[in-house]
């Protein structure tokens, strides 16, 4: 005989209340330490369908209460446990949107390993919530700010720029970061696409100016590629490209510069 959902819900609610009170009491006793969650496999077996959501929410409350009650920085041991909690929550109940915001707040700025962990969670969130613009923005920001990978940041932000209703500056930022990450061709193509679809004359004028800079940078990039193809090794400096591969190195618009780190060329935009 199968129990109906109305008969199951009181038991689930009682379990939820029990978990919440137990976690609250534990946190009140030791505010500066957080206990590990059970292994994910065990949580999946215990949780099954409806309980997965309750366990994930209990872990979320436990983490939020602990983090909100801190009077000092989280030590490495507790931070690793918090990371485990977020991974478990995300696996158990990926449709809980708050997990992604909280993971960004708690984990992303704690170092490379935790920024990567936050981005794995955010990437999963993008598959669950494909129209939630904040998720690719958070992920792209982490790649750029914390992981120092503008090319990957550009890739993720470009995905975000294609979400209906996404502000155009997301796509513009993706173009800039693509060039900063060494993908000058890609950034140029994206900029040209933005020019073709824009109806704002002020924005279109800005895009035209930037496209000119990107085209100048691309000519240097193409000269560099020809040099490497002919010489089978990259030049030590860009000056070696002149005059055989390019008549002269361009003088870029103020605020832009070329950065050569053999064998790659990057177009950088100075930030105020």
Residue 29 near residue 68 (C-beta atoms within 8 A): no
Please measure the distance between the N-terminal and C-terminal CA atoms of the chain and give it in whole angstroms.
Answer: 69
Of the candidates 12, 105, 104, which has an alpha carbon nearest to the alpha carbon of residue 53? 12
Give 267's contacts (C-beta < 8 A, 6+ positions apart).
Answer: 179, 180, 184, 187, 213, 214, 217, 256, 257, 258, 259
Exposed / middle / buried, residue 120 (Cβ in 10 Å: 0-12, 13-18, 19+)? middle
Structure confidence at residue 5 (pLDDT): 47
Residue 67 near residue 82 (C-beta atoms within 8 A): yes
Residue 182 near residue 170 (C-beta atoms within 8 A): no
The DSSP secondary structure of 119-156, one letter per residue, reads: HHHHHHHHHH-TT-THHHHHHHHHHHHTS--HHHHHHH
Report the SS3 class of residue 204.
helix
Structure confidence at residue 77 (pLDDT): 81
Cα–Cα distance, 136 to 134 (Å, whole number): 6
Cis peptide before 243 (omega within 30 of 0): yes
- Block mean pLDDT (10 aa), the chain, length 272: 51 55 50 55 53 82 73 75 91 93 93 97 97 97 97 97 95 97 97 95 96 98 97 96 96 95 94 66
Residue 97 near residue 132 (C-beta atoms within 8 A): yes
Residue 44 near residue 94 (C-beta atoms within 8 A): no
**Dihedrals phi, psi of 268, to nearest 5 degrees:** -105, 140
- List the beta bridge partners of residue 267: 258
Place of tokens 């009181």: 10
């Amino acid at each position: 005989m199968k129990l109906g959902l109305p008969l199951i819900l009181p038991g689930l609610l009682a379990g939820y209340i029990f978990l919440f009170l137990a976690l609250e009491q534990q946190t009140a006793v030791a505010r500066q330490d957080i206990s590990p969650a059970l292994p994910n496999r065990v949580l999946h077996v215990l949780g099954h369908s409806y309980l997965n959501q309750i366990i994930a929410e209990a872990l979320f409350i436990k983490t939020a209460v602990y983090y909100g009650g801190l009077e000092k920085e989280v030590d490495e041991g507790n931070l690793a446990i918090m990371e485990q909690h977020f991974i478990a929550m995300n696996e158990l109940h990926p449709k809980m949107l708050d997990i992604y915001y909280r993971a960004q707040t708690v984990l992303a700025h704690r170092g490379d390993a935790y920024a990567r962990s936050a981005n794995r969670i955010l990437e999963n969130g993008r598959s669950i919530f494909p129209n939630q613009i904040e998720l690719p923005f958070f992920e792209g920001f982490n790649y750029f700010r914390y992981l120092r990978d503008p090319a990957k940041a550009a890739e993720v932000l470009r995905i975000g720029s294609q979400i209906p209703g996404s502000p155009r500056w997301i796509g513009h930022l993706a173009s800039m970061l693509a060039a900063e990450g060494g993908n000058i061709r890609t950034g140029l193509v994206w900029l040209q696409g933005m020019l073709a679809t824009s109806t704002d004359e002020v924005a279109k004028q800005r895009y035209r100016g930037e496209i000119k800079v990107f085209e100048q940078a691309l000519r240097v990039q193409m000269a560099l590629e020809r040099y490497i193809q002919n010489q089978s090794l990259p030049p030590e400096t860009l000056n070696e490209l002149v005059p055989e591969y390019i008549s002269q190195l361009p003088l870029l618009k103020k605020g832009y510069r070329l950065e050569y780190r053999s064998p790659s060329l990057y177009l950088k935009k100075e930030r105020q």
